Chains A and B, each alone.
Chain A
Amino acid sequence: MKIIFINWRWQIDQPQVSIKNSNKVIVSAYTRKQSDVYKNYIISILQNNRDASSLVLVHADARNLYYFTENDLRITESYNYKVVEFCNDGLRNIKAYELFSQNHVYNPTINLENFVDVWDHFWGEDLRELLGKFIITFLPLAIDLQGLSKCLTEETKANKYLNEVINDLTDNTIIEWNIIKKTLALKQNLSDNPEESLPEEYRFEEEEKTSMYFPLESVKKPGFSIGDLYEYLKNKDNYELIVTWFEKNVKKLNDKLVQKK
């Protein structure tokens, strides 16, 4: 959980690359005299940072001759950072300034007391949207399996139904699920290190986390292929497991991420 400010200040008099660098916040300022050094510095920070819940705030005022945009940062998707362009002229989101400083245009001071508020404002919104994403991803399958379970006594009908369901399944379900898990930092390698996992208020207990994995996944080996899913659906006993898992996860995500606010 880290906030990286890029171009917190610009047009400063003295050459200055880093004005603050802690385990929570990296704030950089730009000086024209060192533009190449500065650019390389920023890119190296981003490439070396492995904190999956990082928030990157880019001061992208067009008047700044050397401003960064999201595209300039070359952050690969696997890093899963949240990148927000902002400036203080009212055209882009100025929440970062409002929360983090007194918003003195020429000499903004950083107030770390608001760290969690800033992080939550930008990153928390992604978390709150996860419930909707989860529902869109798994509700169709849950409905199909609930329907299938009602037709089991009619074998021909059930087989036809199952074939239609399987023909409609795509890798997309698995891709979306992996993104959701990643955003939730459910993966074991992200949750081992407290500094690299979600803030406490968003974090799930170990037991809750275990039960959030898709029924055919295990905590030790998360992930499955579309072929695995086809095979799994051939066993009728699994229908109820998936439907129950879906309903429980909706409740957990709602309680933890949505109702919290």
Chain B
Amino acid sequence: MNYFLITEDSSITLAHSLARYYWYTLGIELCLWNDGMSIESDKNDFFFILNEPKGLEKYLSWIHKNDFNPNRIRFIGYDSNADINLLEVEKLKKQIEHCFAVTRGVDRLGIPFIFNRIKTFFNGHGEQSLLSCISGVKYYLGNYSEMADSGEYSPDELNKPFFLPGMQCWDEFTLRFSKYASFLYVSGWDKQVHEIERSINVVTMDLKKAEVSDCFHTFSSETIQSLKEIITSIENMASQIDRKQYETNPADR
């Protein structure tokens, strides 16, 4: 089992102090990680991240892409939202030991930077909300598929009003998902992220076939099922976020 500390160069002095603390008081070798390093991590490795929003997005993306165990990530910050609050210097040893004991269910949504990013994922940043985007996929592509199957319409009658807007919604959804997936991945939804990524691949492959086809395209049952699964997962996550938002600030609703 290895222990990595992920930090920006600007906090290198602090990182050195932490590494010394871990080594001399806990007997743990804390390896400092920077951009250029490649790690062959196993599922038991621990990643300590110095919570600096500047570099956080990059690190989370790296953790997600490398499929590291999100339950082995610990955030080190300057307030009680972090797993280890550095400002409580006198309780540092206790905090570090305690954070090893927590294996699941760490509330990442308590970290404002992560929670705000996830809220943006669902609410949009000037564009439509994610749920209306995914509803668009469901409405346009779902109807396209059923109406094409009925044999009552010509391709011209369905492509422009249904297929093209459905594709636009799909592209927007996948783009937003890829941008924010890392935040979901470390927030207790790693399994859902893997499932959605798998489902996105299934749907995308099928839609590619439709794009090159001149006639109607009938979606496979696997595509239909995958779309349903994506929608269910996203809706579940959205309702959890909604609840969390209400707990955090009821006035925001």
A residues neighboring B (CB under 8 Å): 135-136, 139-144, 146-148, 150-151, 157, 161, 164-165, 168, 243, 246-247, 250
Contact = CB atoms under 8 A, between A and B. Distances in A.
A164 B18 CA distance: 12
Given A140-B13, A243-B89, A250-B87, A151 B24 contact: yes
B189 interface: no
Given A146-B21, A157-B24, A243-B89, 6 more contacts: A136-B14, A141-B17, A142-B89, A143-B86, A143-B89, A161-B24
Given A150-B25, A165-B20, A247-B89, A143 B14 contact: yes
Contact of A135 (B18, B87, B92): B87
A246 B24 CA distance: 21
Contacts of B33: none
A142 B21 CA distance: 11
7 contacts: A141-B17, A143-B17, A144-B20, A147-B20, A147-B92, A150-B24, A243-B89
A250 B90 CA distance: 14
Give the top 8 A-B pairs by smallest Cβ distance, nearest first: A140-B17, A147-B21, A143-B17, A140-B13, A142-B89, A150-B25, A140-B14, A161-B24
Contacts of A161: 20, 24
B115 interface: no
A164 B86 CA distance: 20
B243 interface: no
B56 to A, nearest CB: 16
Nearest to B15: A140
Contacts of B92: 143, 146-147
B78 interface: yes
Nearest to B86: A139
B249 interface: no
Given A135-B78, A147-B21, A161-B20, A168 B89 contact: no
B16 interface: yes
B25 A147 contact: yes
Contacts of B248: none
Nearest to B18: A143
Contacts of B89: 139, 142-143, 146, 243, 246-247
Interface string B154-170: 00000000000000000
Contacts of A136: 11, 14
| Interface secondary structure of A, over-half rule | helix
B93 interface: yes
Band of interface residues on B: 10 to 19
B32 to A, nearest CB: 13
A247 B90 contact: yes
Given A135-B78, A143-B92, A151-B24, A168 B16 contact: yes
Given A139-B14, A140-B13, A143-B92, A164 B20 contact: yes
Nearest to A246: B89
A246 B13 CA distance: 17
B127 to A, nearest CB: 25
Contacts of B78: 135
Nearest to A243: B89
A157 B25 CA distance: 10
Nearest to A132: B78
Nearest to B92: A146
A45 to B, nearest CB: 37
Contacts of A250: 87
A157 B78 CA distance: 29
Contacts of A141: 17
A135 B14 CA distance: 10
A17 to B, nearest CB: 44
B39 to A, nearest CB: 25
Nearest to B88: A247
A151 B25 contact: yes
B21 A144 contact: yes
Given A243-B89, A247-B90, A250-B87, A144 B17 contact: yes
B24 A168 contact: no
A148 B86 CA distance: 16
A243 B90 contact: yes
A141 B89 CA distance: 10
Interface in B119-150: none
Nearest to A143: B17
A247 to B, nearest CB: 6
A142 B13 CA distance: 12
A204 to B, nearest CB: 20
A164 B25 CA distance: 14
